[in-house]
Structures are given as C-alpha cells and as structure tokens.
Amino acid sequence: MSEEGRRPLPRRPVHFGPDALEAHGGMLPGPAETTEVAHQTAAILVGTGRSAHDPAVTTRLVSLVDDLGLSTVADLWASRPARSLPGALWRLYALREWVRRSPEQASREYAAGIRFTDVAHAVAGIAEPPQPEELQRVADQILAGVFAGDLAVALERAAAFCAVIAAGRAELAHDSDRLDPGGASELTRTGSALLATGEDLRACANLWRAGDLD
C-alpha cells in the first residue's frame, strides 16, 4: 500500500517530562497543547479498553489511579470541561478513588439518601443495605462499564450514584445543623457540587449516544 493510501496512526500521547520540556525550550506546554493531550489520551484510553475485549485490560484501566496517582490523572484531565470525554473520565476516576478511600463515609451518605431517590438508587444498582464493600464493588463496576460495556449506561449509573450521595449529604446536614453548623454547611456545599457532577455525567451520557462526546 502506498504512503498516501495508508490510514494515519493516532499520535501517541505527549508526556512533558524533563526531556520534553528541554525540547520545548524549557517552556511548559501551552493551553492548546495541554488541551490536545487531554483529549488524545482520553480517546486513546477509552478506545483501547473498548477494542481489547480483555478483562485483564479492563482491570488495569479501572485501577489506573492506583498506578499513576490521582494527582497525575488530575493534571491530565481535571481542567477540561465537565461535559467532555476527559472531563467525564476525571470525574469517574475521582469518584472511584473517593469511595475506595472512604468506603464507610460513602456507605453512610448513600444509605441516608436512598429514601429520597428511589429511581436514582435503582439506576445505580447498589444492593441494600449499602455496605462499604458493596459501594467499592459498584464504583469499580461502573468504571469498568466505560471500557467493557455501554459507556452511556456507565455514565448514567455514576450520575445516579452522585444523586443518591448528594441527597444523603443534604439529609445528614439537616440532622446535624443545630449541633455542628459548620459541618452541616460543608455537607450542603459538597452535596450540591456532587449533584452538579451527576447532572454533567448524565449530559455526557446523552452526548455519547449522539456521537458528540469528545
């Protein structure tokens, strides 16, 4: 096949270590380069996982943060819009990491929100009572769905999970408002932020189905 007829290979993600910085004249990558890298790596990661059809590959991708560290993933994707592929991946990995690190808190907040969010609880697919180990298992399962299932469904499950936790935080804030107003205020603030995260993830699911999530 001629060079002209070959399908161009996707470019490898750019890594800005010391050698790369020297190649850029000691300068940090510009906004356009940073944006390109974020979207390239997100697309390559999802594409690799979805084409592999290999449970071992899926497991490695789910545990990406365990290998790289949350700060590395944040540097790569956290600054991208919430309603984009890298933005959605960042939120899914951050959510999994929070559940992994604070399973008892996640279980308590989820349990407090169930009675206010019947539909979201059903979509999230968490057995009752929501034990810490169950929440960790489902967090892994949701992220695995990005690479080995219906990505839109995985995003919707994550959105539903966020909605239940947000409702739980609102309920716990109400219960503790008199004794711990500062703690109640923080629960209300983080619950509202998590509810917005869920709305963004649900919007990403719709964008994926329309072929517009990039």
Which string of b and e fits 160-182 if b means at least 16 CB within 10 Å?
Answer: bbbbbbbbbbbbbbeeeeeeeee
Share above pLDDT 70 across residues of the chain, in percent, rounded to a whole number: 85
Q: Which two tokens stand for residue 14?
A: 């750019």
Please give the helix or strand (H or E) that residue 27 lies within, else none: none
The mean pLDDT value of the chain amounts to 87
Of the pLDDT bands very low, low, confident and very high (cuts 50, 70, 90), residue 32 is: low
What pLDDT score does 16 carry? 36
Q: How confident is the model at residue 34 (pLDDT cuts 50, 70, 90)?
A: confident
| Percent of the chain predicted with pLDDT > 90 | 81
pLDDT at 18: 38
pLDDT at 17: 39
What are the φ/ψ torsions at residue 132 (nearest 5 degrees)? -55, -40
Domain locations in the chain as residue ranges: 18-209
Which of 14-18, 24-28, 89-93, 166-170 is least confident?
14-18
Q: What is the pLDDT of residues 161-196, one digit of tens each?
A: 999 999 999 999 999 989 999 999 999 999 999 999
Sign of CA dihedral 213, 63, 150, 195: negative
* pLDDT exceeds 90 at position 8: no
User: pTM value?
Assistant: 0.84
Angle, vertex CA 155, rays to CA 153 and CA 159, nearest 5:
115
CA distance 68 to 90: 13
CA 197 from centre of chain: 9
Residue 11 pLDDT > 70: no
Q: Is there a contact between 87 and 80 (Cβ–Cβ < 8 Å)? A: yes
* Better-predicted residue by pLDDT, 163 or 7: 163
Residue 30: pLDDT band (50, 70, 90) is low
Nearest-angstrom CA–CA distance, 153 and 146:
8
